[in-house]
Amino acid sequence: MSEPARFDRGHTDDLMTFLAASPSPYHAVATAAERLEKAGFRQVAETDAWEGTSGGKYVLRGGAIVAWYVPEGAAPHTPFRIVGAHTDSPNLRVKPLPDSGAHGWRQVAVEIYGGPLLNSWLDRDLGLAGRLTLRDGSTRLVDVDRPLLRVPQLAIHLDRSVTADGLKLDKQRHLQPIWGLGNDVRDGDLIAFLEETAGLPAGEVTGWDLMTHSVEPPAYLGRDRELLAGPRMDNLLSVHAGTAALAAVASGASNPASIPVLAAFDHEENGSQSDTGADGPLLGNVLERSVFARGGSYEDRARAFAGTVCLSSDTGHAVHPNYAERHDPTHHPRVNGGPILKVNVNNRYATDGSGRAEFAAACGQAGVPFQSFVSNNSMPCGTTIGPITAARHGIKTVDIGVAILSMHSVRELCGADDPFLLANALTAFLER
């Protein structure tokens, strides 16, 4: 085993910067692409013919990115080593007819995306971010990163039952944020405001994919600042670690025995069934085209896929001190204890015994401790892009991640050392 990884808060500081710069999946992939560009990667268009040259390349599609590095001398049948993650997080997303309101309040009509902890969105200062589509079909990112919206909770004086019966929220009636005052609700006001914010002419925007986000920045927490609180750690923590690992490997890549890949998908939180989701064709198309661009045949493609391994990296559950009975009694992952290996024999996670050995070897090479996670037998188990990737592409896949609390909250909590440990393990995996 290598020397233990030395904790580096510089990595966690950088994660905080990444989270703040990525209020939507579209911003997240743009931020990742910018970092890969600095590491020498270049974007290739799916509509162009691809060259079989060595070096770093990436494809952007909506809120997804697939990036890979071809070492000099890599054969067409060279297998891939993939870090998989997802860019989306549960939140409130703007409807096609966003302008609404009542009783002197101006509101924005929103739809619930994924499975957010709804109460965590109450009484938060919210910004608005996403993608605007223009008349010519081009897109423009927009980010109003200031207090713009708020979902006000009902005062306890008007609902005394909340203390006895708990908070009950109707997704349609109770989650519509306010953003101003006025009795006249005018269609087009929100989009006109965003056009002005983005410096676009009036009437230029014909489509949008917009979502809310908390404007409270990430922050260290605790007596010794050993914890990190922040938004969208499920699963931008993994996207950030995977981006850093791929850039690190590419900077010294000389081993033609494998091709390192980062695949960060959109729409994991609602099933992955989209052209940018893990259940879509994006990853398979990119890997196949890479094989064929290097002069490979279908036989080379089959050989490459047969030797490929994917680490599906997503956050998991740390043991909760107030609800320890909800966890498996013998598996209690702790924050700052290193990444977790996720196992479920009913294939909600893709890990098997050989996958465990693969991850253990990478962690051993990096000097990183790891922990095991299984769900309580009496409770349903969540899932990830892991089983989808394994089944769709016939690729050996291992589910891992970082243990956190408050998953799917507007603000989640992890150990401040775990992001660095995960990045080290992913780097070692891509180098193997």
DSSP 3-40: PPPPP-HHHHHHHHHHHHT-SSHHHHHHHHHHHHHHTT
How far, CA to CA in Å, does 410 sit from each of 26, 106, 157? 18, 23, 26
Alpha-carbon dihedral angle through residues 18, 23, 25, 26, given to the nearest 10 degrees? -90
CA 8/CA 421 separation, integer angstroms: 9
Q: What is the pTM of this model?
A: 0.96
Nearest to 424 by CA among 400, 406, 407: 400
How far, CA to CA in Å, does 239 sit from each of 160, 288, 346, 411? 43, 23, 26, 17
CA angle 110, 275, 75 (to 5 degrees): 145
Nearest to 256 by CA among 69, 424, 428, 84: 69
Burial 180-190 (b: 16+ CB within 10 A, else e): eeeeeeeeebb
Nearest to 291 by CA among 42, 75, 61, 55: 75
φ, ψ (nearest 5 deg) of residue 19: -60, -45
DSSP 8-state secondary structure symbol assigned to residue 266: S
Please list the residues that pair with 397 across neighbouring strands. Answer: 310
Please list the residues that pair with 92 across neighbouring strands. Answer: 112
User: What's residue 163's pLDDT?
Assistant: 84
User: What's residue 280's pLDDT?
Assistant: 97
CB proximity list for 364: less than 8 A, separation 6 or greater: 1, 2
What average pLDDT values come out for the chain (432 residues) when binned by 10 residues? 64 98 98 98 97 96 98 95 98 97 96 97 98 97 98 93 89 97 91 97 97 98 96 98 97 83 98 97 98 97 98 98 96 97 97 97 97 96 96 97 98 97 97 88
Q: Is 397 in contact with 312 (CB distance < 8 Å)?
A: yes
Q: How many CB atoms lie within 10 A of CB 344?
A: 19
CA 181/CA 373 separation, integer angstroms: 49
- Which residue blocks in 106-220 are alpha helix, DSSP H? 162-165, 189-197
Checking DSSP bridges between strand 309-313 and strand 316-317, what pairing results, if any?
unpaired
DSSP 8-state secondary structure symbol assigned to residue 271: T
User: What's residue 313's pLDDT?
Assistant: 98
User: What's residue 266's pLDDT?
Assistant: 98
User: What's residue 1's pLDDT?
Assistant: 46
Amino acid letter for position 190: L
